[in-house]
């Protein structure tokens, strides 16, 4: 039985709402992070994605630096950097620099998916598939570049050596669970959209975990979709923007985040679609009281060490309000 408090954090894609510029979007990211800092959130992570007009977090490390500069205590990091897109040396240099600029505040979450379509993945890195299959080796390279023992090597990331930047393994399948357990690293599961293997992956990770220099026992983070408003009806209305985003994903017609509308029977039918229902299985939508009961059940079932909340809402004021209410819930449930 879990005894320690469950931490709560934010995963953001810097979603671009219809009628909002990129500059406004980035400013909204900073505003959200500043509020989150005051609400007691542990970390604010940005996810790397490419070739999607609705997602602004493609230059992830730059945006991390912008948010870290405008906050003071909040941990800021990647959820994650898609390592096969990059040279491990360059990522070590980027995050080593961030770690020196913002000591003990930068996280490096790493995943192996492209964060885009395969054509774009090939444009980013022509040997993407080879790099993806070599993910465990690429991870080891990152660890080597951050180690002080690498100072005598021919190839060094001098700005990373000895800098404290914790690594996290991100995943949506049991493959990542095996790797995180073997490496003795914290594990973040993308259950906010990839729900099928959550329980199996957490069981694998906990069962196979090998203590390391950085972690004595398993540490699990689980992604959840959170939309909270003053009433159930208002939260349902806000969720219509998310439903339309999901429809865009399934139809290949991705667009900017649309303003919310009244919930219709047609949109309810979309939510009942088996694929959509499975994808949004761990989505907690409603008033504070409604979501509190849902979150409590999920926490008891998962025994996650940390929940990382994804709140895809059109208006930044409504997003901030939702995150404020979620923070209140998490404090009340401890």
Domain harbouring 42, CATH code: 3.20.20.30
Residue 269 lies in a domain: no
How far is Cα 200 from Cα 207, in angstroms, rounded to an integer? 10
Give the pairing type, strands 43-46 and 283-286.
unpaired
How much is the pTM? 0.96
Give the sign of the dihedral formed by CA 44, CA 209, CA 330, CA 55: positive
Q: What is the mean pLDDT of residues 247-268?
A: 88
Residue 238 lies in a domain: no
Q: What is the mean pLDDT of residues 267-286?
A: 92
Strand, helix or coil for residue 113: coil
Q: Which residue has the higher pLDDT, 130 or 93?
A: 93
How far is Cα 256 from Cα 276, in angstroms, rounded to an integer? 19
Residue 268 lies in a domain: no
Q: What is the tally of structural domains in the chain?
A: 1
Can you give the pLDDT at residue 220? 98
Above 90 in pLDDT, residue 117?
A: no
Above 70 in pLDDT, residue 80?
A: yes
Q: What is the mean pLDDT of residues 296-311?
A: 97
Residue 191 lies in a domain: yes
How far is Cα 133 from Cα 142, in angstroms, rounded to an integer? 16
Residue with tokens 């505003």: 31
What range does the domain containing 325 cover?
7-233+283-333
Integer Rg of the chain from CA = 19
Rounded to 10 degrees, the C-alpha dihedral 261/245/26/122 comes to -160
Residue 277 lies in a domain: no
Around Cβ 230, how many Cβ atoms within 10 Å? 11
Residue 242 lies in a domain: no
Q: Tens digits of per-residue pLDDT, 201-211?
A: 999 999 999 99
Q: Which of 41-45, 70-74, 124-128, 263-267 has the lowest mean pLDDT?
A: 124-128
Can you give the pLDDT at residue 1? 66
Q: Which residue has the higher pLDDT, 203 or 127?
A: 203
**Most distant CA atoms of the chain, gap in Å:** 65
How far is Cα 134 from Cα 112, in angstroms, rounded to an integer? 9
Above 90 in pLDDT, residue 322?
A: yes
Residue 263 lies in a domain: no
Average pLDDT of the residues of the chain: 95
How far is Cα 322 from Cα 91, in angstroms, rounded to an integer? 33
Residue 259 lies in a domain: no
């Amino acid at each position: 039985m879990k005894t320690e408090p469950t931490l709560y954090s934010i995963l953001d894609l810097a979603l671009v709402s219809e009628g909002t510029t990129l500059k406004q979007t980035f400013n909204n990211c900073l505003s959200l992070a500043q509020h989150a800092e005051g609400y007691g959130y542990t970390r604010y992570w940005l996810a790397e994605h490419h070739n999607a007009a609705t997602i602004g977090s493609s230059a992830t490390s730059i945006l991390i630096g912008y948010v870290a500069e405008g906050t003071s205590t909040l941990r800021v990091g990647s959820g994650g950097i898609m390592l096969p897109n990059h040279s491990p040396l360059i990522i070590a240099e980027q995050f080593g620099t961030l770690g020196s600029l913002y000591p003990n505040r930068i996280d490096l979450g790493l995943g192996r998916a492209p964060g885009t379509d395969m054509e774009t993945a090939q444009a980013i890195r022509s040997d993407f598939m080879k790099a993806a299959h070599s993910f465990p080796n690429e991870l080891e390279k990152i660890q080597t570049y951050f180690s002080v023992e690498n100072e005598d090597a021919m190839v060094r990331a001098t700005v990373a050596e000895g800098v404290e930047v914790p690594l996290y393994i991100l995943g949506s399948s049991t493959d990542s669970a095996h790797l995180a357990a073997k490496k003795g690293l914290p594990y973040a599961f993308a259950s906010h959209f990839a729900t099928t293997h959550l329980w199996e992956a957490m069981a694998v990770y906990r069962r196979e975990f090998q203590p390391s220099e950085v972690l004595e026992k398993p540490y699990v983070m689980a992604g959840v979709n959170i939309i909270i408003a003053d009433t159930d009806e208002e939260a349902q209305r806000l969720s219509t923007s998310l439903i339309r985003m999901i429809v865009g994903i399934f139809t290949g017609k991705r667009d900017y985040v649309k303003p919310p509308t009244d919930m219709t029977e047609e949109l309810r039918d979309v939510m009942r679609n088996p694929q959509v229902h499975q994808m949004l299985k761990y989505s907690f939508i409603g008033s504070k009281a409604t979501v509190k009961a849902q979150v409590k059940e999920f926490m008891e079932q998962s025994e996650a060490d940390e929940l990382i909340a994804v709140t895809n809402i059109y208006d930044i004021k409504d997003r901030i309000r939702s995150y404020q209410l979620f923070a209140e819930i998490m404090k009340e449930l401890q």
